[in-house]
C-alpha cells in the first residue's frame, strides 16, 4: 500500500501558503495599506508551521550535540594549557 509522504504534503502546504502570502502582500501594497495586518501574520504563522516537518530535527540535534562536545573539549584543552 502506498503511503503519501509527510514531507511532500508539508511542501505543498508551504508553497500554497507562500503564494497566498505573496498575493496578500501585493494587494496590500497596491492599496497603500500596512503590510503587517492579521491575515499576513496568519499566513506567516502557517508558513512557519508548515516548514517544521521539513527540518531533519534528529540530524540537526545530533550535529549540534557533536559541536557542543567538541567545543567543551577545546575549552578543556585550553584550560589545561593555560594552567601549566
In a domain, 1, yes or no: no
pLDDT digits (tens, 9 = 90+) for 35-83: 566 666 777 777 777 677 666 667 777 888 889 999 999 999 999 998 8
In a domain, 62, yes or no: yes
Matching residue, cell 584550560? 79
In a domain, 75, yes or no: yes
From the CB of residue 17, how many other CB atoms can be counted at a distance below 10 Å?
A: 20
Q: What is the structure's pLDDT at 1?
A: 46
Number of domains the chain is built from: 1
In a domain, 11, yes or no: yes
Look up the pTM and report it.
0.40
Q: What is the structure's pLDDT at 76?
A: 93
Q: Residue 33's pLDDT band (boundaries 50, 70, 90)?
A: low
Q: Residue 4's pLDDT band (boundaries 50, 70, 90)?
A: low
Host domain of residue 27? 6-82
Q: Which helix (H) or strand (E) holds 13?
A: helix 6-30
In a domain, 32, yes or no: yes
Amino acid at each position: 500500500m502506498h503511503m503519501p509522504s509527510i514531507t511532500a504534503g508539508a511542501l505543498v502546504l508551504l508553497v500554497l501558503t507562500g503564494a497566498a502570502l505573496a498575493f496578500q502582500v501585493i494587494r496590500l501594497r497596491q492599496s497603500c495599506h500596512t503590510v503587517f495586518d492579521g491575515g499576513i501574520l496568519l499566513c506567516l504563522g502557517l508558513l512557519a508551521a508548515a516548514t517544521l516537518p521539513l527540518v531533519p530535527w534528529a540530524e540537526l540535534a545530533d550535529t549540534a550535540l557533536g559541536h557542543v562536545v567538541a567545543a567543551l573539549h577545546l575549552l578543556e584543552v585550553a584550560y589545561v594549557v593555560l594552567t601549566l
